[in-house]
Structure 1
Amino acid sequence: MTLTPNFPISTERLRLRPFTRGDVDGVFAYRRREDVARYLFDVPLSREECALAIQQRIGQVALEAEGDRIVLAVELASNAALVGEVSLIWRSVDARQGEVGWIFDPAYQGRGYATEAANAMLDLGFGRGDLHRISARCDVRNEASWRLMARLGMRREAHFREHAIFKSAWDEEFIYAILWQEWKARRSGISN
């Protein structure tokens, strides 16, 4: 399978599109924040580090081999304001497994944008991507993230306690996942 989406991916209120060099200031607005970096592997980023991250993301627009990722800017359809980013990673070719992720500007949280964008990535992964299972993970303290996973119809499959050192302390992580048939049932309006 090779997955090269047609961009932009449009939802009711959002456009998901490849990053451009012009996105540096928009990404820097939220990636420089300590409250955003708290649960990420990165520390708050400088503007120069954001520019490097954007340069890397510009080429992450297709799934061709295991480990590839699609990382997209999320902007409001109404005014093109950059509100965050979403990703889809191809974790296993043989088992048709993927992983979704997201980072959103706190100024735009609480409005359903992350749910809308993440649903679009699930649609992409299960639809044209032909994945069987898509997972997501987060620090157990990141309640907004694991609540989003639940809203997406994902089930908590694991709670890893003190499994790794993360930012100089023991990490605890939740793993959530949804299967293709569960996604299809949700899209058909059938409850599980």
Structure 2
Amino acid sequence: MSLYPVYPLRTERLTLRPFTRGDVDAVYAYRRREDVTRYLFDTALSREECALAVQQRIGQLALEAEGDKIILGVELDDNGALIGEVSLIWRSVEARQGEVGWIFDPNYHGHGYATEAANALLDLAFGPGAIHRVAARCDVRNEPSWRLMERLGMRREAHFREHALFKSQWDEEFIYAILWQEWQALRGEQTPT
């Protein structure tokens, strides 16, 4: 099954929308920060690298084949500020597996925006996306990220110790996941029989 969402996606306080070329400066404002990139595979990006990344994200709007990504900008409704991004990756077509991720400007941490945006992405994955299981991962030291996974109702499934070199150090990673029926139970909906 393919997924071609109708954009934008709206939540109580946020608009999740496709990126535009006009987003380069807003993305650069947070992607150039060492405190943002500390746990990302990327290093801090230059403005030119941000422009290339935004250009790439402009076309990542549907899930048609394994490995495809939906990457959306997260915008505050009250002032139109682009405060971060969320992603949904189709990891396995056959097993209907997905992965979610997020990157937010630290200036907007602590207001529940990441939780709100990630919930909307999970609604997309488990609703029209018909995905069976959605996972998320983060560096063990990235407590705000794994706490967010727990707020979303995800459970910790793995703790990989020194499994890869990451920025010249041994990486430790948590894997969290949630199943379709668990998401439905959190939403108070009936599981089909």
Aligned to 2:3: 3
Aligned to 1:86: 86
The within-5 A match list for 1:157-176 is: 157-176=157-176
Q: Work out the percentage of aligned pairs sharing the same amino acid.
A: 78
Name the CA distance, whole Å, in 1 between partners of 2:169 and 2:81.
35
The within-5 A match list for 1:41-190 is: 41-188=41-188
Write the letter of the residue equivalent to 1:176: Y
Name the CA distance, whole Å, in 2 between partners of 1:10 and 1:98.
21
Name the CA distance, whole Å, in 1 between partners of 2:143 and 2:171.
15
Following superposition, the deviation at residue 160 of structure 1 comes to 0.1
Following superposition, the deviation at residue 33 of structure 1 comes to 0.2
| TM-score between both structures, scaled by the size of structure 2 | 0.97
Partner SS for 1:184: helix
The within-5 A match list for 1:29-44 is: 29-44=29-44
Write the letter of the residue equivalent to 2:111: R
Name the CA distance, whole Å, in 2 between partners of 1:145 and 1:96.
24
Name the CA distance, whole Å, in 2 between partners of 1:22 and 1:70.
19
Name the CA distance, whole Å, in 1 between partners of 2:5 and 2:14.
16
Following superposition, the deviation at residue 77 of structure 1 comes to 1.0
Name the CA distance, whole Å, in 2 between partners of 1:60 and 1:147.
27
Following superposition, the deviation at residue 2 of structure 1 comes to 1.1
Following superposition, the deviation at residue 119 of structure 1 comes to 0.3
Name the CA distance, whole Å, in 1 between partners of 2:23 and 2:133.
31
The one-character-per-residue Cα deviations of 1:147-178 (angstroms, maximum 9, x if unpaired) are 00000000000000000000000000000000
Aligned to 2:25: 25
Aligned to 2:14: 14
Write the letter of the residue equivalent to 1:35: D
Q: Where in structure 1 are there 5+ consecutive unaligned residues?
A: none
Name the CA distance, whole Å, in 2 between partners of 1:76 and 1:103.
15
- Taking a change above 3 Å as real, the CA distance of residues 80 and 145 of structure 1, as seen in their structure-2 partners, is same
Structure 1 segments of 4 or more deviating over 3 A?
none
**Count of paired positions:** 190
Write the letter of the residue equivalent to 2:131: L
RMSD: 0.9
- Taking a change above 3 Å as real, the CA distance of residues 144 and 189 of structure 1, as seen in their structure-2 partners, is farther
Partner SS for 1:115: helix
